[in-house]
Structure 1
Amino acid sequence: MKRAGSLCPRPLLRLVMHASLWPLGLLAASVVSAQTVTLNSEIYYNVVLYGGKDAGCSPLDNMLSNRGCDNTLQDLWSVDDGSHNQRYRFVPVPGETNTFNIISGCQLYLSCQDCSGVSTTDLYSIDDGSGRQRWVLTPIAGLANTYDITVAGGRDASCGIYLSTGATCSDTYVDLYTSDDGSGRQRWTLIPLEPETGSLPLEPFVYNELPLGVVKPSAGSWLLNQLEAQANGLHGNLQNFWSTVQNNDWIGGTGDYSSLHEAGAYWLNGVIPTAFQLNDQRLLNDVNKWVDYIISHQGSDGWLGPDSTPRVLWGTYPMLLALRQYAQANTTAAPTILNSLDKFFVLMSTMMSTQGGAGLEEWGLMRWEEASIVIEWMIETYPNGRDSMYLQLLTLLRTFGAPWPVNFSPGVFPTAAINEVDIRFHGVNVAEAIKSEAVAYRYSHNSSDLTSTRQRISIIDEYHGRISGVLNADEHLAGLGAERGSELCTVVESMYSFEYNYMVLGDNTFADRVEKLAYNALPAEITGDMWEHQYMQQTNQIQSAFLNPNPFATDGNESNVFGLAPNYPCCTVNHGQGWPKFISHAYMTSSDTKTLYHALLSPTTFNSTLANNNKVTVVAQTNYPFSSTIQYTITACAAFNFGIRVPTWVPSSKITYAVNRGASQSATANSAGYVIINIAAGTHTISANIPMSISTPTTSGTAVAVTRGPLVYSLNIDFSTTVLQSYTANSSDLEFTPTSSWQYALSKSNLVYNGDSSNAASVQYPFSQNNPLVTISANVCPITWNTDGASALTPPSSPATCTGSQTSVKLVPYGAAKLRITEFPYF
């Protein structure tokens, strides 16, 4: 971490070094030249003090630096640590000579106060026209790439305009001085840094994503019921009663919860795939109206969406993802959508290349990979002769964006809860960045990006991972405590990141992770009828209420209330992408489209054309993950290969299957995790069995959890419900108060699975707390387990001491237990 420098302003008068002590060459270079300064606004520079520090400083803090995106202080640091805190871009001010905006790696402007304020420099969000965010570079004669840097206006020269610092080793502040005193402390050398690079064509996917609408939930399945619950629940009705969506600024209204303009984009990114997968005419009418408005109101310069000064790019990223899906599903509208996106990216290219990254701010910098996914899709779908422009746009976004390999590196990445605001380690930013280098690999062709992808997943899991598959972050990385929180947005963004990583890298564990998130963390944070959701879920969650004391370091104490918009509204609009994107990625193809893979085991149906115009339909009927059997009905015009994924938790990677009701046969997955079956032309059936066994993995400390297959099991805590507030439609804020005991230790012996579900498809709400579809019987005993208000403290050490007799309980799926104990001490 960067060490702190002095925060105190320094007197403007200081002792000037005797000429005999000046560094060699300073006297000769005391006359400045009047040449034109030309700098590349598309790259970063290190800004290094030329001289004047005391001899023997170790480390020598001589590089212009800042404290990160959550701090406006400027200081000096000894090295470029890769964080972008020591990197600046110089963007010419139009109409001015040798005058630049100096923009930090957080897209903030180097700035200062007027003479009534302190003399130290800071960072500001915009160029306010005062001149204090504009800097004149005057070359020093005889010294290459070395300049006096003076503030262009808004400050009287008599109170200091020269970028400067002090002489001693402990002087790490950056302030303004009245002149170039010849010491070297007002002279700065600019060292250009190499930008990110890439080349086309893009690396092919290991597994190809299918267009929206090709995969749907199978008829009569529990997953169809689940998606219909979403369509009929909160997310599918926000446009009817909640002003943030109903009157959203993306459709000409004034509703949004922030100046980022993300609410409407988030909502459309989830409701579009829901509408098309269900062929829900009500929702289709809504999304058609939204898309028609957005496209018809595109700016003459290509801008999409609500405009502001300055423009904000981040809010467009989820909209780009939404429009991409719409174009895939609505082939009639696709040419119009593609043309609109092409215009937008031409503008975005100008904003990046000649306007110095205009439109970027801290959220856009952190989430550069989201826009990059759509840019890569444009290259492959509708390059329109702009291949070079798109490639440059990709590399500029990565150059300017957050350096995620550095952020995830040992020594930088937090190994415990940080309990403070740090945008680098904001939970949703981390979840989205799980895929950033996988996205970049497609144009970098650098295997180190794949290594970085695997490394970051490992380090997240080690220090912040939860048994449900999601990371702990409330709002920022929160360690391993079972009482700490995980945001619903983090769940759905993690799902999409692992879906994408699986397409690029093909690691079987990534598909396992998607299933674990979908079948545990996602439904756990939403009521069974999907009308209420939490902002934060807890692994051990003994009450849903206004928690006092608050266990969440940087979130409100109402964060685990089930409601309309607890704590902050982002998850209200964003949670809808989870289930439909899971469905879209359930099947994938090989890069040559000759092989079809069932990648995410689920009751889903594929209907499309493979290589050589081979029309294929696959219907998977299954209660998985509440059952281990999957029944496939497959119709094909010609022979093809069909792959059934074998999860890594399957013993010996072996499954059994039978074709056309023939003899059962055992098969071991290949190195990619698939059993490949050759399907002849015609209609055929396959019955596959995915063996599952009970496991009790150690979680944090000496606590254990219970899993079987992709499902995590919890002790369900009964509760009473209090309605805190009711809204229009069926939406309410609900408090859940426990009414049954939960302070138990678990016996790891005698865990008994009570059989597969036979009626999952007939249950309207598969993850309702009232209808657990599968259970595991377990023996528990009461123990002393302390609380902190309404939160369970860390599970007591194991083996625990029983304070009473053993009793038998039934553990239920984590996603169905809205109050629960998941991490147990054992006895």
Structure 2
Amino acid sequence: MPALSSMSRRSFLQGVILAGAMSAMTFRPLRAATTEAVAGRAQQAPPFPRAPLAQQPFALLPTGSIKATGWLLRQLQIQADGLGGHLDEFWPIVGPDSGWSGGTGESWEDGPYFLDGLVPLAWQLDSPKLKAKAMRFIDWTLDHPWENGMFGPRGNDDWWPRMVMLKVLTQYHELTGDSRVMPLMTRYFHHQLQALPGRPLRDWGRMRWQDELISVLWLYQRTDDQALLELAHLLKQQGYDWQGMFARFPFTQKTDAEALRKQAGASDAFMQDLGLQVHGVNIAQALKASPAWSVASGSASDREAIHHQLKMLDTYHGLPNGMFSADEHLAGRSPSQGTELCTVVETMFSLEVALAITGDAALGDRLERIAFNALPAALTDDMWAHQYNQQANQVECSLHREPWTTDGPESNLFGLEPNFRCCTANFHQGWPKFANSLWMATADHGLAAMSYAPCTVTTAVRAVRVVVEQVSDYPFRQAVSITLKPERAVAFPLRLRMPAWSQGTRISVNGKSVRTTAGFTTIERIWAPGDTVEIVFDAAVKVERGHNGALSFSRGALVYALPIKENWVILRKRGPTNDWQVYPASRWNIGIKPDAAITASEHPVGEKPFAGATPAVQLAMQGRYVPAWKASEGSADVVPAKPEPSADEDVQSIALVPYAGAKLRITAFPALG
């Protein structure tokens, strides 16, 4: 037998060690992935952390437990009929030559990004076509592990894209119970535990370590493999200290590339690290870091740190749509600065994770504000084109370099892959994961409504199969009807998130009023088949102050904007879609008095729920033109702090529509008077 090289000898020894660990490990029984088994898994209660992990108030139900209905189902179908369901047919990045399906093409993050939304979308819609698309990648990944425990394309060994693929595999396992998933994850994590001391996390992986942490904890709760806790601590040790950065938050102004270079001095490494700290997507993903780590640390300060982090972002970079500016890097509070679509969907996912761990209802308020405003605003109504950057005050989408901090001139075009391709693959996770987080299990063996949208939940509560049907046109309407259908009468707590903006919420059970409490209202009773819970929120119009005292308007979970008449012009054709520039065809420089009279009117919710042509709600008010407020380089100038209204023109009657429906819009208005 020929002598082994040092590399192959090391791989051989690692394989022997891993084989012993695998043989000694006890996996919980897995059932075959039949239709009946899949349905059974969707009806299971999720595992909660056990010692030495810290307890948490809520847990996400297994993927597949919640099925969208009503307008949310239509939104998911629009995604499947658009880029979400067809991208692999004409975009070579995730096409047949993808490295994540055995080809020689793109082998980094785009394949896993695409799957991170395609998998939950395919099973939400129970679409054989979409499932087959997903399985091309998943089967190859599961069937072609490396000899040393790594997995994925052999063209790179970067830890970062595998962090995304691990999230894909956890969702896929919850949906199917595929017996290949947990052994592959275990082998990989054991390999990584041995390899990280010599090949530590770097750049993107170092900044996004928390995305792997949630997969490590997911597997630990199902295998009790103690090595996974050791890996969790090693990830934390090598990962970037986001909690420490926010504790001394230094980024209080729009990112200035030249200032960063001066601060970095001669150190390219420091400059790179500094750029990653202010990178919007990194920060969005980092919002889950402290809560996720608190499950391992047990620290209350870790669990609560997200609130300070959000406060810092709101104070120095907050925008009316619930997001923070980041185009590509933190950009201040001017509503003409942008936010990357990847940042939107990653913030949503971080909030979904953090809401379960912290139990803080305020995170649900923010999640809804982003989901119902910032997410659909960055996509055309048919979801065949998207923006890289969206602006709250967006008066033109055209080829300009300003006002972006570091992005290019295509940043706010609607198209296939404007500016950079990451969002083309990554935006697909937004709606499906939001649907999967609408309801959660409670630590005291109950159920909780975390966000409100039409859906049906199928799960187990105290060993009893329970179906929950939620019917509503929320957020376009303020009434929610919930019908519980347990197989037999069963006692458990039902928790309902109370949005902070609703001060007069009314709840009744079978017609009898229930007292509400801030945060979550808990209803503890024996639930019988057919019991109904009715909720009516009090959604008054709220006037909010922003940069330079600018006024923005919300009603419930929806933010409102002045629509600007749009002229769409094709820049280039991109297969079945196009890259679009959008030019204004009406005036937009309106100022409004803070005490302006406002009237709300409701209209039918259309087949495309957020379509600007058929707004489901409108706010009528009056304003006056501010002639000195103009646009430069295709963007509205900073909102004037002391606007001078036109002396030659009368008061104008205007109608605001839901933010997402106006692709050209003004959301933050100069405050007159």
> What whole-Å deviation, never above 9, does each CA across 1:496-555 have from its counterpart, x for those lacking one?
1111111111111101111001001001100110000000001100001112x5210100
From 368, 389, 407, the equivalent of 1:555 is 407
The Cα shift of 1:237 comes to 0.9
Equivalence map 1:77-96=2 (5 Å): none
> What whole-Å deviation, never above 9, does each CA across 1:279-299 have from its counterpart, x for those lacking one?
112101111222111101111
From 51, 60, 70, the equivalent of 1:209 is 60
Secondary structure of the 2:508 match is strand
Partner of 2:251: 414
User: Residues 745 and 802 of structure 1 are in contact (CA less than 8 Å); yes or no, is this contact kept in structure 2?
Assistant: no
Once residues 82 and 256 of structure 2 are traced to their aligned partners in structure 1, the CA distance between those partners, rounded to angstroms, is 34
The Cα shift of 1:567 comes to 0.2
Once residues 320 and 643 of structure 1 are traced to their aligned partners in structure 2, the CA distance between those partners, rounded to angstroms, is 31
Partner of 1:326: 172
Once residues 637 and 391 of structure 2 are traced to their aligned partners in structure 1, the CA distance between those partners, rounded to angstroms, is 12
Q: So what's the TM-score if we normalise by structure 1?
A: 0.71
Partner of 1:486: 339
Secondary structure of the 2:204 match is helix
Determine if the alignment matches structure 1 residue 774 to structure 2 residue 617: yes
Partner of 2:650: 805
User: Residues 291 and 304 of structure 2 are in contact (CA less than 8 Å); yes or no, is this contact kept in structure 1?
Assistant: no
The Cα shift of 1:741 comes to 0.9
> 1:750 and 1:786, CA in 2 relative to 1: closer, same or farther beyond 3 A?
closer
Partner of 1:443: 296
Determine if the alignment matches structure 1 residue 241 to structure 2 residue 90: yes
Once residues 561 and 159 of structure 2 are traced to their aligned partners in structure 1, the CA distance between those partners, rounded to angstroms, is 42
User: Residues 694 and 751 of structure 1 are in contact (CA less than 8 Å); yes or no, is this contact kept in structure 2?
Assistant: no
Secondary structure of the 1:705 match is strand
Once residues 594 and 470 of structure 2 are traced to their aligned partners in structure 1, the CA distance between those partners, rounded to angstroms, is 34
From 434, 438, 446, the equivalent of 1:586 is 438
Partner of 1:381: 222
Equivalence map 1:404-553=2 (5 Å): 404-410=242-248, 412-420=249-257, 422-547=275-400, 549-553=401-405
> What whole-Å deviation, never above 9, does each CA across 1:624-678 have from its counterpart, x for those lacking one?
0000011222211222332221101111xx4213333x35x253225x4224263
Once residues 705 and 240 of structure 1 are traced to their aligned partners in structure 2, the CA distance between those partners, rounded to angstroms, is 41
User: Residues 550 and 669 of structure 2 are in contact (CA less than 8 Å); yes or no, is this contact kept in structure 1?
Assistant: yes
> 1:520 and 1:203, CA in 2 relative to 1: closer, same or farther beyond 3 A?
same
Q: Which amino acid aligns with 1:498?
A: L
The Cα shift of 1:215 comes to 0.7
Secondary structure of the 1:775 match is strand
User: Residues 747 and 778 of structure 1 are in contact (CA less than 8 Å); yes or no, is this contact kept in structure 2?
Assistant: no
User: Residues 633 and 685 of structure 1 are in contact (CA less than 8 Å); yes or no, is this contact kept in structure 2?
Assistant: yes
Equivalence map 1:258-407=2 (5 Å): 261-308=108-155, 311-331=157-177, 333=178, 335-353=179-197, 355-357=198-200, 360-383=201-224, 386-387=225-226, 389-407=227-245
Partner of 1:615: 465
Determine if the alignment matches structure 1 residue 573 to structure 2 residue 425: yes
The structure with the largest helix share of the pair is: 2
Q: Which amino acid aligns with 2:240?
A: A
Secondary structure of the 2:158 match is coil
> What whole-Å deviation, never above 9, does each CA across 1:744-765 have from its counterpart, x for those lacking one?
10133344343344x32xx221
User: Residues 525 and 536 of structure 1 are in contact (CA less than 8 Å); yes or no, is this contact kept in structure 2?
Assistant: yes
Once residues 460 and 243 of structure 2 are traced to their aligned partners in structure 1, the CA distance between those partners, rounded to angstroms, is 39
Once residues 621 and 330 of structure 1 are traced to their aligned partners in structure 2, the CA distance between those partners, rounded to angstroms, is 27
Once residues 795 and 395 of structure 1 are traced to their aligned partners in structure 2, the CA distance between those partners, rounded to angstroms, is 46
Secondary structure of the 2:281 match is helix
Once residues 753 and 522 of structure 1 are traced to their aligned partners in structure 2, the CA distance between those partners, rounded to angstroms, is 26
Gaps of 5+ in 2: 1-5, 9-48, 258-271
> 1:361 and 1:642, CA in 2 relative to 1: closer, same or farther beyond 3 A?
same
Partner of 2:36: none
Once residues 687 and 681 of structure 1 are traced to their aligned partners in structure 2, the CA distance between those partners, rounded to angstroms, is 16
> 1:254 and 1:550, CA in 2 relative to 1: closer, same or farther beyond 3 A?
farther
User: Residues 495 and 520 of structure 2 are in contact (CA less than 8 Å); yes or no, is this contact kept in structure 1?
Assistant: no
Determine if the alignment matches structure 1 residue 747 to structure 2 residue 593: yes
The Cα shift of 1:453 comes to 2.3
Once residues 581 and 214 of structure 2 are traced to their aligned partners in structure 1, the CA distance between those partners, rounded to angstroms, is 39
Q: Which amino acid aligns with 1:206?
A: P
Partner of 1:629: 479
Q: Which amino acid aligns with 1:349?
A: L
The Cα shift of 1:787 comes to 1.8
User: Residues 507 and 516 of structure 2 are in contact (CA less than 8 Å); yes or no, is this contact kept in structure 1?
Assistant: no
Once residues 250 and 707 of structure 1 are traced to their aligned partners in structure 2, the CA distance between those partners, rounded to angstroms, is 43
**Which structure has the larger Rg over C-alpha atoms?**
1
Of residues 449-458 and 243-252 in structure 1, the stretch that sits farther from structure 2 once superposed is 449-458
User: Residues 655 and 666 of structure 1 are in contact (CA less than 8 Å); yes or no, is this contact kept in structure 2?
Assistant: no
The Cα shift of 1:780 comes to 1.2
Q: So what's the TM-score if we normalise by structure 2?
A: 0.87
The Cα shift of 1:681 comes to 1.9
Secondary structure of the 1:305 match is coil
Partner of 1:109: none
The Cα shift of 1:451 comes to 3.9
Partner of 2:456: 605
Once residues 535 and 524 of structure 2 are traced to their aligned partners in structure 1, the CA distance between those partners, rounded to angstroms, is 11
The Cα shift of 1:94 comes to 9.6
Equivalence map 1:52-201=2 (5 Å): 200-201=51-52
Of residues 438-447 and 797-806 in structure 1, the stretch that sits farther from structure 2 once superposed is 797-806
Moved >4 Å (runs of 4+): none
- State the aligned residue count: 606
User: Residues 646 and 675 of structure 1 are in contact (CA less than 8 Å); yes or no, is this contact kept in structure 2?
Assistant: no
> What whole-Å deviation, never above 9, does each CA across 1:393-415 have from its counterpart, x for those lacking one?
111111111111222133x4300
Partner of 2:46: none
Determine if the alignment matches structure 1 residue 698 to structure 2 residue 550: no
Determine if the alignment matches structure 1 residue 669 to structure 2 residue 540: no
Secondary structure of the 1:715 match is strand
> 1:313 and 1:659, CA in 2 relative to 1: closer, same or farther beyond 3 A?
same
> What whole-Å deviation, never above 9, does each CA across 1:193-221 have from its counterpart, x for those lacking one?
xxxxx995211221111010101112xx1
Once residues 679 and 223 of structure 1 are traced to their aligned partners in structure 2, the CA distance between those partners, rounded to angstroms, is 30
User: Residues 489 and 571 of structure 1 are in contact (CA less than 8 Å); yes or no, is this contact kept in structure 2?
Assistant: yes
User: Residues 630 and 689 of structure 1 are in contact (CA less than 8 Å); yes or no, is this contact kept in structure 2?
Assistant: yes
> What whole-Å deviation, never above 9, does each CA across 1:336-375 have from its counterpart, x for those lacking one?
211111111111111124x342xx3200000000000000
Once residues 230 and 642 of structure 1 are traced to their aligned partners in structure 2, the CA distance between those partners, rounded to angstroms, is 32
User: Residues 334 and 639 of structure 2 are in contact (CA less than 8 Å); yes or no, is this contact kept in structure 1?
Assistant: no
Once residues 172 and 303 of structure 2 are traced to their aligned partners in structure 1, the CA distance between those partners, rounded to angstroms, is 30
RMSD between aligned residues = 1.9
Q: Which amino acid aligns with 1:415?
A: T
Structure with more relative contact order (C-alpha pairs < 8 Å, separation 6 or more)? 2
> 1:474 and 1:538, CA in 2 relative to 1: closer, same or farther beyond 3 A?
same
User: Residues 479 and 537 of structure 2 are in contact (CA less than 8 Å); yes or no, is this contact kept in structure 1?
Assistant: yes
Once residues 676 and 724 of structure 1 are traced to their aligned partners in structure 2, the CA distance between those partners, rounded to angstroms, is 55
User: Residues 628 and 756 of structure 1 are in contact (CA less than 8 Å); yes or no, is this contact kept in structure 2?
Assistant: no
Q: Which amino acid aligns with 1:824?
A: F
> 1:441 and 1:314, CA in 2 relative to 1: closer, same or farther beyond 3 A?
same
From 782, 787, 790, the equivalent of 2:634 is 790
